Amino acid sequence: GGLWGGGANGSVVLDEEMGRAENKVMEGVVKELGAVKEAYPLVSWADVVQMAAGEAICLCVEGKAPMLLFGRLDATVPSAEGGLPAFVLGAEGEGEDEA
């Protein structure tokens, strides 16, 4: 067994998930967050990712910070494949579903 996969659990950093096409856009983000994880080794990957997502939302909506709760455990197994829709930005910046 292992801890569940799915949700805000840090499983995106697991090799199996990081190797998936749906997560390729996260490679740079995970690499950058690795420095945060190294600086704060007692903080779970799940919380590091959640904190970064909250900060990104805050930057996108002019400082309106979402309510964040911390204390998540890291998943030890990957989330199910195909849980995210295929989504890319087109040349005009409009979303296009690849599915």
pLDDT per position as a tens digit, 66-75: 788 888 889 8
Look up the domain containing 45 and give its range.
Answer: 21-75
**Is position 25 within any domain?**
yes
**Is position 37 within any domain?**
yes
**Is position 68 within any domain?**
yes
Rg (CA), the chain: 15
* Confidence (pTM): 0.73
How many Å is the maximal CA-CA distance in the chain?
Answer: 45
If one compares 98 and 28, the residue with the highest pLDDT of the two is: 28
**Is position 86 within any domain?**
no
**Is position 26 within any domain?**
yes
Burial of 23 (C-beta count, 10 Å sphere; 0-12/13-18/19+)? buried
**Is position 81 within any domain?**
no
**Is position 44 within any domain?**
yes
CA distances from 92 to 14, 85, 89 (A): 33, 20, 8
**Is position 98 within any domain?**
no
How many C-beta atoms lie closer than 10 Å to residue 45's C-beta?
A: 22
Stretch 69-94: mean pLDDT: 74
Q: How many domains does the chain have?
A: 1
pLDDT per position as a tens digit, 10-67: 998 999 988 988 888 889 999 999 999 999 999 999 999 999 988 888 888 776 777 8
H or E, element range at 64: none
